[in-house]
Structure 1
Amino acid sequence: MKDRYGLDLSTSSAAARDAYVDGIDRMLAAEAGVEASLAEALEADPDFALAHAAMARQHQLYVRPAEAQASAEAAVRLSDAATARERQHVEIVRLLVSGKVPQGLDLIGQHVADYPRDAFALSPACGVFGAIGFSGRIGREAELLAFLEPLAIHYGDDWWFATVHAFALIEQGQWDRGRRMAERSLEQRPTSGHGVHTLIHALFEAGDDDEAVDFLDGWLPASDRSSVLHCHIWWHYALALLAVERFDAAWQAFRHNCLPGATTSPPITVFSDSSSFLWRLELAGNPRDRDTWERVREFYEENFAQPIVFVDAHLGLMYAALGETEQLQASISLLTELGEAGRLPAETTGATLARAYAAFINERWSTVVDLLEPLIGQVVRIGGSRAQRDLVTNTLLAAYVNGDRMAEARAFLEQVVDRRPTRPVAGLGVR
């Protein structure tokens, strides 16, 4: 019994093996049907430790901590009879589910040295929401690429590894090479949400907004609304429509696919994409939609009880847009306290962003510039992609424009020589 990467699996059931391999591929591709496949694997073999571990990760992704912990504990208990590789694989999942992310990342590094083709054990280290992506380290993009490149020889033309390798290249400015790899990956698995997501990032970096719209016009109608990236890929589509000034179409794409209640995507994606897009609409010159901001606030309060770095980085947008000064100041105070105590990976970056957003709403343009200019080189610490962090860049550009500092805006744009994304900022006058 082996998985798709040739690794032994401790199950005697061919049905369990087949369903597990299908579930893992769906998870690696960000496709729908993951839980159904893993449930099928566990029905065929209730003692299959790796299937329990995979289910734990799925629960964690959707912020179901009790279920994630229970599945992880079952995986640990059942792994006693498994191989050394599987026991270590399960331990990686247990650490991540328990919130011990640095220890989990350390073990991933050790694990792939011995088992480089254990793709599912490697995957939590990959991407902008992975263990390296959320490490809070300024050099984490280069770190991820350096981590992945030596492993490429072990994966050959594998469609999954191509997506994570390509994404790491794109975030380091190598978007031409990344695009070619993403396109090759999609030739092998056209339904892969991760493959599509990677390609769209390459197009974004190149400023190829029309091409992104055309591609997604063809791909999205057949995509599954229940996939993990449903909201986020539609968010990219809405951004591309915004970039080509199709504002009504952008709003409709966003409203029907990204807002709370319109998608089953993970809460971190729904909240960050919703608050980010609403803010970007305003930067592009559209009026504020207070009712929609209220909807986002209600979703936040229902889903997030503890600080999460990428969520925290967007929290100030919501409170600032709603004019909820007391909540905003309380949030800034908490993020400052936790950051200064070393309890947040990005330290006080989230607090500084919230201060800048508060200043922006109050039209204190010089304060926005003073807060954001020194932060641009450090905002990578909050996690997320360069496309997502352009929220901060575009806010700074809008402050330049509104403060009648066009020369500084253009000088800032000229500093970034390896990127060509569109900047939908009212009054900037550039694409």
Structure 2
Amino acid sequence: VAIEHPRDLLAVQLAHLGDFYNGNGPVQRDRIARVLPSWDKSVPGYGYVLGMYAFGLEEMADYARAEDTGHQALALNRRDPWATHAVAHVLEMQARLADGIRFLTATQDDWAPDNAFAFHNWWHLGLYYVDIGDTQKALDLYDTRIRPKESGMALEMVDASAMLWRLTLLGVDVGARWKPLAHSWAPRLEDGLYAFNDCHALMALVGAGRLEEAELVTALLANAARRGGTNARMAGDVGLPLAKGLLAFGREDYEGAIAAIMPIRHIAIRFGGSHAQRDLLTLTLIEAALRAGRTTVARHYLAERLVQRPASGLGARLMQRCA
């Protein structure tokens, strides 16, 4: 549709989101580039197209252009949460943590009110606080902004699982927060439609100590891998090995977690999600290596992460544990 009607904003957005969920970063960027010549400031909605392009650029690590394009989009429509989100991603990937906190805090009156996507930008703010070591602030955001009440919305539950898993990896006591989250995931366990979500459901189950149900998710991913369609590839290539690794981690089988996660890190884009979301695989692998006494493995992957994010406080603290 977008080929014949490049100004069909809904078609462009749906294709953009489809590319994201399918883990197709180059197409996510280039699909928007192909329609951009049909847009300019005189066309309503141009800012939204720029916001999508900014995110596509960010996911292809073109950070300078992504940030500039995101700010161009926000100059046209400061309430665009997707353009805000694209800039937030750049700041997270470059570990410009103070800049990220200032940016999202200063603009929250633009992107947060009456916006169903606000929880995800709050999640990004939480990531900055996790990185600088202010885990209490991250927990406060979880309680008041990311998941202030039980919700069955998958995107919200994914962010909640990802935040609690990060904090748990760092040894933070998240209290009883896993229990209601696992309860919200429970009715969706047999959907088996998107391996990325299934693995986040499994995190909640492991966190809540519901390991038998976590095993069920692993079995469902194995079934999904045998079926046809896009999700079969996602489940088989990344989802099932990751689920096994997460379950092993929950059982304190850290060698098993390393063995499952290490081979899939560099193909994890096939799984969908963003760089920031998939960073959870690396963090889990590093923590498993540290707990297994495999400091050379932990140092190996931390070195890679610190080259990408040299100012990361989290990376520096983890590297100190390798000494």
- TM-score relative to the length of structure 2: 0.88
Question: Hey, what's the Cα distance between the residues in 1 that align with 2:63 and 2:262?
Answer: 25
Query: Compared with structure 1, are the counterparts of its residues 118 and 223 closer, same or farther at alpha carbon in structure 2 (3 Å cutoff)?
Result: closer
Tell me if 1:244 matches 2:132: yes
1:369 aligns with 2:258: yes
Code of the residue aligned with 1:285 in structure 2: it is G
1:303: how far off? 5.7
Quote the offset at 1:153 in angstroms. 1.7
Distance, in Å, in 1 between the alignment partners of 2:127 and 2:193 is 24
Q: What secondary structure does 2:3 align onto?
A: helix
Write out per-residue CA displacement over residues 149-208 of structure 1, whole angstroms, 9 at most, x where no aligned residue: 222222245211111111111111101110011011111111111111111001111110
Structure exhibiting the larger radius of gyration computed from Cα positions: 1
Point out where structure 1 has 5 or more consecutive residues left out of the alignment.
1-110
Indicate whether 1:308 and 2:193 are aligned. yes
Aligned partners of 1:168 and 1:221: how far apart in 2? 25
Task: State whether residues 369 and 399 of structure 1, in contact with CA within 8 Å, keep that contact through their aligned partners in structure 2.
Answer: yes
Aligned AA (2:253) = R
- Secondary structure of the residue that 1:113 maps to in structure 2? coil
Is the Cα contact below 8 Å between 2:192 and 2:224 reproduced in 1?
no
| 2:283 equivalent in structure 1 | 394
Match of 1:174 among 27, 49, 62: 62
CA distance in structure 1 between the partners assigned to 2:319 and 2:142 by the alignment: 24
Structure 2 residue matching 1:160: 3-state secondary structure: helix
Please tell me whether the aligned partners of residues 283 and 395 of structure 1 are also in contact (alpha carbons under 8 angstroms): yes
Is residue 2:204 matched to residue 1:318?
A: yes
Cα deviation, 1:30-63, whole Å, max 9, x if unaligned, reads xxxxxxxxxxxxxxxxxxxxxxxxxxxxxxxxxx
Q: Does 2:220 align with 1:329?
A: no
The superposition leaves residues 83-123 of structure 1 with CA deviations (integer Å, 9 ceiling, x where unpaired) of xxxxxxxxxxxxxxxxxxxxxxxxxxxx2222111121111
User: How does the TM-score come out when normalised to structure 1?
Assistant: 0.67
Q: Which runs of 5 or more structure 2 residues have no equivalent in the other structure?
A: none
Q: What is the Cα deviation at residue 423 of structure 1?
A: 6.8
Q: SS of the counterpart of 2:6?
A: coil
Q: Distance in 2 between matches of 1:255 and 1:212?
A: 20
- Structure with the higher helix share, 1 or 2: 2
8 A contact 2:218–2:243 mirrored in 1: yes
Matched, 1:279 2:170: no
Alpha carbons 2:192, 2:220 under 8 Å: kept: no
Pairs within 5 Å for 1:90-169: 111-126=1-16, 130-135=17-22, 140-157=24-41, 158-169=46-57
Query: Match for residue 32 of structure 1?
Result: none
Q: Identity rate of aligned residues, in percent? A: 21
Look up the SS of the partner of 2:19 in the other structure.
coil
CA contact (8 A) 1:234 1:258 kept: yes
Kept in 2: contact 1:366–1:399 (CA 8 A):
yes
Task: Give 4+ residue runs of structure 1 displaced > 3 Å after superposition.
Answer: 221-226, 302-305, 413-418, 421-430
Say whether residues 1:188 and 2:76 are aligned partners: yes
1:413, CA displacement in angstroms?
Answer: 3.6
Deviation, 1:209, is 0.8
Q: Deviations over 1:353-412 (max 9, x none)?
A: 121111112222221111111111222122111101111111011112222223322322
Deviation at 1:334, TM superposition (A): 1.3
CA distance in 2, matches of 1:360, 1:303: 23
User: Among 177, 180, 183, which residue is 1:292 paired with?
Assistant: 177
Q: How many residues align?
A: 311
Taking only aligned residues, the RMSD between alpha carbons, in angstroms, comes to 2.3
Question: What is the distance in 1 between the residues matched to 2:157 and 2:70?
Answer: 27
Residue identity matched to 2:158: S
* Aligned partner letter, 1:192: D
1:224 and 1:133 map into 2 onto residues whose CA distance is 22
Deviation at 1:418, TM superposition (A): 7.3
After the TM superposition, which residues 6-155 of structure 1 pair with which residues of structure 2 at under 5 Å, given as runs? Answer: 111-126=1-16, 130-135=17-22, 140-155=24-39
* Distance in 2, Cα, partners of 1:221 & 1:164: 21
State the one-letter code of the partner of 1:145. R
- In the alignment, the residues of structure 2 paired with residue 395 and residue 228 of structure 1 have an alpha-carbon distance, to the nearest angstrom, of 29
Question: Using a 3 Å threshold, how does the CA distance of structure 1 residues 350 and 388 change in structure 2: closer, same or farther?
Answer: same
Contact 1:134/1:381 (8 A) holds in 2: no
| Partner Cα distance (2:306, 2:56) in 1 | 18
**Structure with more relative contact order (C-alpha pairs < 8 Å, separation 6 or more):** 2
